[in-house]
Structure 1
């Protein structure tokens, strides 16, 4: 009987204790649900990037490992690029050769232009010289012909008369000088004049006699006319002058030849300019080939697109990977966020751009965040009314908050608790 009583008391104690625990649990659950509605929690999330090469190849270097912090632009891995390097070297050599070709072509243009200028100057000089030579030769012909005609025609009557007048004057001067000499000699014998006067008279007589003899010969030449030899010599001078005219006129043909040289030089300039254009096109083509080769070489390097942490390494050195294969996974620390869920009756006053406070559960530190996206949650998050008493569905909304001052020591995945606007 005593054992039965003990059993009954134990059962009653268990029932009382269970009821007490159930009541306490219910109250605590209510407090948790209230807290979860007023201060929901979320996890720190970050952008994960799968990093891959743009071209396939064999990995020959990986410079990082899982857990390493990297900076934007940092070289992470490299694949073999010997063939691409060879192509780049070939393209560089082709570019240098094309540049040299442009230089040679430009030098040819300069030489052709210089030759053209020289030819143009030569045309000008030759034309001017030829015209001057023709004019001079024609003038010489006229002078020679005039001299020949004068010789053939002989002296004019006026010239003969003038020669005779000169001869008569010289004859009279000679007679006077002779008479003066005789008179002075007589005076010398009489002792009236010195010997010097006789010598002076003798000198004047000899001079007058020489002038008279010369005037006589000149008069005879005028009367007789030119000799045959003089006419022949004048004729030869005419012929020589005519030959000079013919030569000068022939030199005019050199102008045409020089003009042909100028046209040929112009053709050379055009040809050289075409060569420059062709060489320049070759340079552009070689430069494009080099740029393409360098671009493909850059594809053999895997660089960090942003600051972050390497979280996964999916390939090893020596492995052959295809284009787009995720060799590494990078977790970016430049853009971290958390996503909270609220029922629609808690959304009043929330809008994008608002700054809110969030508490890091592990440290208790409150950090700042900015609401960037508000969007309806999936259908499964819709709260249905438990009884048909006219209640409506309660829809939930996802609120994405970008973290503004989250310490770097806060690991992705840590829990954040909503503190709301104005929290410190």
Structure 2
């Protein structure tokens, strides 16, 4: 008797368990079929502006400041990348730039202070040479005239020797003036070479400044900031991960930048115009939102109805109609239909 009672109880429990399972499956399939049985009409799915947030530099993630679901403001720090490799580069660039500026100052001191003096010295030497050339021409003329007089025995040899000596002295003065001009020109050319060295040193300093600026920009990029205000919808990395610039850290969504895409038959496109105000109803038939037709794609997406023998041999194509909402109660993936 006891064995039969235990057997009966065990069979009864199995029957109850099977009944619960069948009831649950029935409710699940009923709800699924009910969810699929949308009210007839033009249905569309909502979407929103969403972006991946990447780092502009490679490195190790040392801090994640927000989590999925957090609302962030534009410019808010989302994460930080390590600066261990960048800070030594910054110090090295600063030291190299300081050394280059020291060299530039030395070149400037050696060239800028004497440029005017050398140009003035060259002008003076050239003026002196002009005077020496004029004096030589006069001495040469006098020596030639007295030589003719000496030949005619009109003057003494001593008188001629005096003018000949003056010509020789004038020649010597001309050679000295020419040498002085050449020296002044050489000094000025050398100084101009110093100025060229100064320009080269300045260009090198500019290049080093560019390197330092690049390092400092990268240091600024170690703080990853939100590109706009929104909600963090996904986190892709963990603290300690080594990332490249192609690896996103977060996905951020703007809850005030959303829309619904409808696939409208080509036979109904004439009912829609850009700028039209349209009413949308949610799946619960209670949520009512007003939107504006933002765009109508001028390229068909697919055939919503294939050709049949009853309709002839022409497919009915669908075109995307984008209705702008910008309503923070609308989440991507929600479905809406156009209200009559």
1:162-311 to 2 correspondences below 5 Å? 254-311=176-233
Distance in 1 of aligned mates of 2:323 and 2:227: 20
Q: TM-score, normalised by structure 1?
A: 0.54
Deviations 1:284-321 (A, max 9, x none): 32133234434544554433333321111122222223
Distance in 2 of aligned mates of 1:392 and 1:356: 35
Does structure 1 conserve the Cα–Cα contact (< 8 Å) formed by 2:129 and 2:178?
no
**Alignment partner of 1:75 out of 77, 80, 86:** 77
Q: Which has the larger radius of gyration?
A: 1
Secondary structure, aligned partner of 2:228: coil
Secondary structure, aligned partner of 2:40: helix
2:43 maps to 1:36: no
* Structure-1 residue corresponding to 2:161: none
Q: Following TM superposition, by how much is the alpha carbon of 1:115 offset from its aligned partner in structure 2, in angstroms? A: 3.3
Distance in 2 of aligned mates of 1:65 and 1:390: 55
Deviations 1:76-100 (A, max 9, x none): 2221122123223322333343344
Secondary structure, aligned partner of 2:338: strand
Does structure 1 conserve the Cα–Cα contact (< 8 Å) formed by 2:122 and 2:185?
no
Unaligned runs of 5+ in 2: 1-33, 137-163
Structure-2 change in CA distance of 1:382 and 1:389 (3 Å) = closer
Distance in 1 of aligned mates of 2:311 and 2:113: 101
* Structure-1 residue corresponding to 2:149: none
* Structure-1 residue corresponding to 2:300: 376
* Structure-2 residue corresponding to 1:357: 278
More strand by share: 2
Structure-2 change in CA distance of 1:104 and 1:373 (3 Å) = farther
**Alignment partner of 1:367 out of 290, 294, 302:** 290
Does structure 2 conserve the Cα–Cα contact (< 8 Å) formed by 1:339 and 1:398?
no
Q: Following TM superposition, by how much is the alpha carbon of 1:245 offset from its aligned partner in structure 2, in angstroms? A: 10
Distance in 1 of aligned mates of 2:311 and 2:132: 122
Secondary structure, aligned partner of 1:290: helix
* Structure-2 residue corresponding to 1:408: 328
Distance in 2 of aligned mates of 1:125 and 1:390: 107
* Structure-2 residue corresponding to 1:57: 59
Structure-2 change in CA distance of 1:97 and 1:402 (3 Å) = farther
Structure-2 change in CA distance of 1:343 and 1:129 (3 Å) = closer
Does structure 2 conserve the Cα–Cα contact (< 8 Å) formed by 1:341 and 1:399?
yes
Distance in 2 of aligned mates of 1:355 and 1:286: 58
CA RMSD of aligned residues (A): 4.1
Distance in 2 of aligned mates of 1:253 and 1:284: 46
* Structure-1 residue corresponding to 2:261: 339
Q: Following TM superposition, by how much is the alpha carbon of 1:132 offset from its aligned partner in structure 2, in angstroms? A: 11
Deviations 1:84-137 (A, max 9, x none): 232233223333433444443333332341331342254267568979999xxx
* Structure-1 residue corresponding to 2:99: 97
Unaligned runs of 5+ in 1: 1-28, 135-241
Does structure 2 conserve the Cα–Cα contact (< 8 Å) formed by 1:112 and 1:272?
no
Distance in 1 of aligned mates of 2:102 and 2:279: 67
Distance in 2 of aligned mates of 1:299 and 1:335: 27
Does structure 1 conserve the Cα–Cα contact (< 8 Å) formed by 2:47 and 2:331?
no
